[in-house]
A and B are shown apart, each in its own frame.
Chain A
Amino acid sequence: MSQESSPLWEVFVRARRGLAHSHVGSLHAPDAEVALRNARDVYTRRQEGVSIWVVPAGAITASSPDEKDAFFDPAADKVYRHPTFYEVPEGAAHL
């Protein structure tokens, strides 16, 4: 039987009071419906969340650690993107 019969799914769960879905793990399932049911059983047995996303692992593209520096560098260069870069004149309140 081929490997593809039960592909890998990545599972994201939003906690009861959580603002965003967080990656909690992965599982194998033949289709999205089964992936969702299994994710419910495996990852939310103890009220860990109220919303689940399942995504085929093949649909995810990740950045590579090799190019980490080059890839994220511009953020470090542009200090003016941070509010702390700007000096607030004395006496100016609520800023």
Chain B
Amino acid sequence: MYGNDSPGEDVPGDLLSEVEAAEAALRAAAERDRGAADPGADLAAYFAEIIAADQKIEPRDWMPERYRRTLIRQIAQHAHSEIIGMQPEGNWISRAPSLKRKAILLAKVQDEAGHGLYLYAAAETLGVSRDELVELLLDGRQKYSSIFNYPTLTWADVGAIGWLVDGAAIVNQVPLCRCSYGPYARAMIRVCKEESFHQRQGYELLHTLAHGTPAQKAMAQDAVDRWWYPSLAMFGPPDSDSTHSAQSMAWKIKRFSNDELRQRFVDMCVGQAEVLGLTIPDPDLRWNDERGAYDFTQPDYDELMRVISGDGPCNRQRMAHRRRAHTEGAWVREAAAAYAAKQRSREKVTA
């Protein structure tokens, strides 16, 4: 069971039904009366009460300044990840091996742009503008997911990204569908439904390669070998080193720790890899009867820190590309704004 934080509830185990369960819970919470209808003088107590009752905090509710700042940081970096994440896959659009695969990849990259947009919109409900957030990204003061700093070297990488990267993203994001901040939870529900398509198309792509010629199978295995550990690292540093975790969990922004989610992802992937006929590149991966989970080799967290701090294989390339698009697009944005202003002034004259 993934992302099920209300024990006793009968929720089927696959990720998409988890999302639907979260959506139902969101609707139910909205229909339930809030415990205390009147915030009264003690806003902090009222906030705590809403969180405790699993109600949603909405944009116009009072919230602690640190809750607001944490959410802005998290949602913005999530949005940046969607936008930067278009680059590694976009790299293969013009070289996709068939028209069908090309159309699928185009639809997927279009989804990523949409996800960025939903998330920027959710961040804006916290009183920050998208332009400011884009500035923070371009100045290198806000980050994006470490995973997009790895290169896509072969067509099979598109499949490995779908299966492993989007798979890890879903494991991470499904619990966020129950996040205490309403606009973020609603955005995550939309995102997760579409992300499921990405994960499955990636899996199907790898499955086709793994059951093709020996060269195709070797290409699929090589992609899985390169993307496995960076995908494990997507869940962030181990719980012992995670700076924001405890507070985020108390506020019900996060529902599970980095290590819990990473374990869940590994347990999920093992069976899926068997069906693919591919191996996970970890000689120490084995079932642990006592824990009821797989033991596995942790990713290299020193490498993760290097990549996050800007020194991964593609950091410079990704940021340079994003900055170039922004700078070279400036005249187009100005033209659109000038045209809109002219239309508005004409309407005023005729009105």
Contacts and interface: CB of A to CB of B under 8 A. Distances in A.
A18 interface: no
Interface of B: 37-39, 58, 60-61, 110-111, 113-114, 117-118, 121, 124, 129-131, 187, 190, 330, 333-334, 336-337, 339-340, 343-344
A34 B333 CA distance: 12
B333 A27 contact: no
Interface string A1-36: 101111010000000000000000111101100100
Contacts of B344: 31
Question: Which of B58, B131, B343 lies at the interface centre, i.e. has the most chain A CB atoms within 10 A of its CB?
Answer: B131
A1 B330 CA distance: 9
Contacts of B37: 68-69
Contacts of A4: 337
Contact of B60 (A5, A6, A34, A62): A62
B333 A65 contact: no
| Dominant secondary structure at the B interface | helix
A25 B333 contact: no
A34 B60 CA distance: 28
Nearest to A7: B340
Nearest to A10: B121
Interface of A: 1, 3-6, 8, 25-28, 30-31, 34, 41-42, 45, 62, 64-66, 68-69
Contact of B124 (A26, A34, A42): A26
Given A1-B330, A6-B336, A26-B121, A65 B114 contact: no
A42 B119 CA distance: 12
A66 B334 CA distance: 39
Given A25-B118, A45-B110, A64 B337 contact: no
Contact of B131 (A3, A27, A30): A3
A1 B327 CA distance: 12
A42 B336 CA distance: 19
B121 A34 contact: no
A30 B130 contact: no
B124 A66 contact: no
Contacts of A28: 130
A65 B121 contact: no
B336 A31 contact: yes
Contacts, number: 59
A65 B80 CA distance: 31
A30 B336 contact: yes
A27 to B, nearest CB: 6
Given A6-B337, A26-B121, A31-B339, 5 more contacts: A8-B124, A28-B130, A42-B117, A45-B110, A68-B38
A28 B129 CA distance: 10
Contact of A5 (B58, B110, B114, B337): B337
Contacts of B113: 42
Q: List the 5 shortest-distance A-B pairs measured between CB atoms, nearest first.
A: A5-B337, A31-B340, A30-B336, A30-B340, A26-B121
A69 B33 CA distance: 12
Contacts of A41: 110, 114
Contact of A30 (B60, B117, B330, B337): B337
A34 B336 CA distance: 9
A68 B37 CA distance: 8
B284 to A, nearest CB: 42
Given A3-B129, A8-B124, A26-B124, A69 B38 contact: yes
Given A42-B114, A65-B60, A5 B334 contact: yes
B121 A64 contact: no
Nearest to A34: B336
Nearest to B38: A69
Given A1-B334, A5-B333, A26-B124, A65 B339 contact: no
Nearest to A46: B194
Contacts of B117: 25, 27, 42
14 contacts: A6-B333, A25-B117, A25-B118, A25-B121, A25-B187, A25-B190, A27-B121, A31-B343, A31-B344, A34-B340, A41-B110, A65-B60, A68-B37, A69-B38
